[in-house]
Amino acid sequence: MNRAKRKRLDAAGWRAGSAADFLNLSPEEAAFVEIKLRLGESLRCRRQAQKLSQEALAKKIRSSQSRVAKMEAADPSVSIDLLVRALLAAGADHKDIAEAVAPSGQRLPSKGGPG
C-alpha cells in the first residue's frame, strides 16, 4: 500500500496490517498458511502451463474438479499432502516443490552442494 493511502486510512481511524495480524496467527501458523498458498498457486500454474483442465487433473489424482479448485485456492480443508500429491501427478519433482515453498527471494542450493 502506498504511503498516501496509508495516511488517509490512518487519519480516518483505520488500521492497516497483515492477515496474520488480523487473525492473530503465530509465526508458525502464518508460515503454514503461506506454504499452503504457495503450493496451491504452484499447482494452478503448473496445471495451466500443461493446458490441463481442473477436471483432467482431478482424474489423474482420482479426485473431483471441485477438490482441485479447493487445492488451488489453498482451502483449509485441503491437506498439504494432497497438494504435494497433486503437484507430483502434474509433473512436479522434489526441487519444484521445494522452490514452491521456499521464502520469496531465497535461492535453493544446486544439486552439487551449497550455492
Contact 46, 90 (CB under 8 A): yes
Q: Does residue 54 or residue 30 have the better pLDDT?
A: 54
Assigned architecture for domain 21-101? Orthogonal Bundle (1.10)
Contact 50, 91 (CB under 8 A): yes
User: Which sign does the torsion angle of CA 60, 89, 100, 46 carry?
Assistant: negative
Whether pLDDT at 43 is above 90: yes
Mean pLDDT of the region 41-63? 95
Binning pLDDT at 50, 70 and 90, where does residue 106 land? low
State percent of the chain over pLDDT 90: 57
Whether pLDDT at 112 is above 80: no
Mean pLDDT of the chain: 87
> Running DSSP on this structure, what letter comes out for residue 90?
T
Q: Does residue 113 or residue 16 have the better pLDDT?
A: 16
In angstroms, the CA 110 to CA 41 distance is: 23
